[in-house]
Amino acid sequence: MRSRYRQVWLVSAVSIALVVAGCSVGPSQRPPVAVRGDAMPAAPVAPGSAAPAPDTVPDLEPQNASIPFADCTDDTVSTLREPPSRPLRFECGELTVPADPAAPQLGTVSLGVLRAGLADAPETRPPLLVVGDSAGDASARVAALLAEQVSPDLLAQFTLIGLDRRGAGADRLDCAPADARAALVDADPARSSTADLAKILEEARAVVQECNLTLDSTLSTVRSAATASDVELLRSALGVSRLSAIGTGDGAGALATWAGTAPQAVGRLVLDGPPQPGLDDPDRGEARAKAAETAFDAFAVSCTSRPGCALGAAPRTTVTGLLKALGARPLAAVDGRRLTAGSAVTAIRATLGEPRDWPALTAAIAAAGTGNPAPLLNLLDPLAGPRGRFDGALATGCNDARNRLSPAQISELATRWTSAYPLFGGEAALGLVDCAPWPTGGPAPTPASADGAPPILVLGTAGDPRDPLDGSRRAADALPDARFLSWQGAGTGAYPRTPCVTGVVDAMLVDGVVPRAGTLCPP
């Protein structure tokens, strides 16, 4: 049995069904976007059939959950940034899964499950599973936030189901020694000599050793492949033969794995920003450094396009100067926290994934430039604070990678990456050190085929700081019947940020309209 500290994360227009050959511009709270790309309507097929015909998706099935849900509306609403603008009901439950899917005798763990929907929705409303990225909020919280953001038509059709990943939410991983965790977060990306990296490696070893003790030697199960197994158990617990789902980042990667291992269980599936399948370190680290640089450029353009950007006419120059100053002398907050070059760049990269937080990020960087580190440290807290998600995200990221490099090898990469990716190359190299002492868990599994699954919609984002657009395109290419949509905006996850993306996704999820591959949505 695994021992962990647990804390449950309590967390509009009519759907477009037009078929158009081009794009028309419509209003948005973000820059103007296209309304729809080409799409082809198709008749749904009966659930549980062997293989849907081309351009069709399965019928939706009523939910018949065996999970004992309890109302947690008040507690969940209290954790949201703003009260919901629509009447919502939240119900909390738990899913018990094997601690190690390959070794059931090792005991079980409990994962948080949140059911989010309209207050008057029947319990039988079809489920739409939400699986978030391991570097972001727990999936239960993501489902709670989406319940406020998605279209009325989608909520009239589905109840959102948030399944917490291993190491997050109700199963939150809190195992790293505080001083070792702080050393990893605070490490200066500019200091990449073999000797410097060897010191960080010792701190990373302390994290692995303590976490292995905490998890009773099942640390390797905190990985995306295990999430795929958990999804299939949840499908059965929800009482449906085919499960519709939307996943973001490596949560989308987990759903792709699930689709490959259980294609006959797939309903209407959307993969939002999945990583390139089979990409391992150091290539994965370099791809993410490049993606973060692209996302920062989008952030800089957003700031300078408005009057009075607090970072001046050249935000990249401003941030570079701040990181250099912090490398020489960290800033101390009144509460004793310290802002270092490492913690600053980590906070910046983590916040790039949510454009709604860019104004706060701009203000925080500007405040640090005047000697006030508190706003930037506050942005870092959800990741590396006392109840942060750092340990779970680290475990998932390291377990999903299999290659391990030495400090000497990483030092060489750091030199190249810092030149090619000035803001985030050094941090990406430090991530390789953080994972270096983790067990690899044996040879990489052979990817399963998703033959027999219905058409899958894959979204890619040009300015995603986690996974580049090309990686998501390659994920679509690896599936037997995927329809790829590229969004030229920025952030981790394209849905439901613009009418263009929302229109295509809702048309498939709500109406069963399968888009053609190659749809393009402007920023």
Provide the 8-state DSSP code for 172: B
pLDDT of residue 444: 61
Topology of domain 61-172+220-278+444-521 in CATH is Rossmann fold (3.40.50)
pLDDT of residue 54: 66
Q: Where in the chain is the domain with CATH 3.40.50.1820?
A: 61-172+220-278+444-521
* Nearest residue to 134 (alpha-carbon basis) of 233, 253, 217, 219: 253
pLDDT of residue 135: 92
Q: What phi, psi does 262 have (nearest 5°)? A: -140, 60
Please compute the mean of the pLDDT values over residues 51-78 and round it to a whole number. Answer: 90
Handedness of CA 96, 99, 102, 105 (dihedral sign): negative
pLDDT at 465 over 90: yes
Q: What percentage of the chain has pLDDT greater than the value 90?
A: 81
| 267 and 240 Cβ atoms separated by less than 8 Å | yes
CA 99 – CA 167 distance, rounded (Å): 11
CA 77 – CA 141 distance, rounded (Å): 10
Amino acid symbol at 318: T
Other Cβ atoms within 10 Å of 424 Cβ, number: 28
Provide the 8-state DSSP code for 136: S
pLDDT of residue 183: 97
Residues 264, 266, 272, 274, Cα dihedral to 10°: -30
pTM to 2 decimal places: 0.88
> 338: burial class by Cβ within 10 Å (0-12, 13-18, 19+)?
middle
Please compute the mean of the pLDDT values over residues 50-71 and round it to a whole number. Answer: 86
pLDDT of residue 448: 61
Render pLDDT for 421-444 as a digit per residue (tens, 0 to 9): 999 999 999 999 999 999 886 556
| 318 and 312 Cβ atoms separated by less than 8 Å | yes
101, two tokens: 């899917």
Over its C-alpha atoms, the chain yields an Rg (Å, rounded) of 22
Render pLDDT for 255-264 as a digit per residue (tens, 0 to 9): 999 999 999 9
81, two tokens: 């940034």
- Please count the residues of the chain: 523
CA 14 – CA 48 distance, rounded (Å): 29
95, two tokens: 């899913």
Angle at 75 between CA 73 and CA 77, to 5 degrees: 65
Other Cβ atoms within 10 Å of 49 Cβ, number: 16
CA 391 – CA 180 distance, rounded (Å): 11
Please compute the mean of the pLDDT values over residues 478-494 and round it to a whole number. Answer: 95
Other Cβ atoms within 10 Å of 495 Cβ, number: 24
CA 401 – CA 5 distance, rounded (Å): 25
Render pLDDT for 103-116 as a digit per residue (tens, 0 to 9): 888 889 999 999 99
Other Cβ atoms within 10 Å of 14 Cβ, number: 10
| 273 and 490 Cβ atoms separated by less than 8 Å | no
Pairing of strands 70-71, 88-98: antiparallel
Other Cβ atoms within 10 Å of 149 Cβ, number: 11
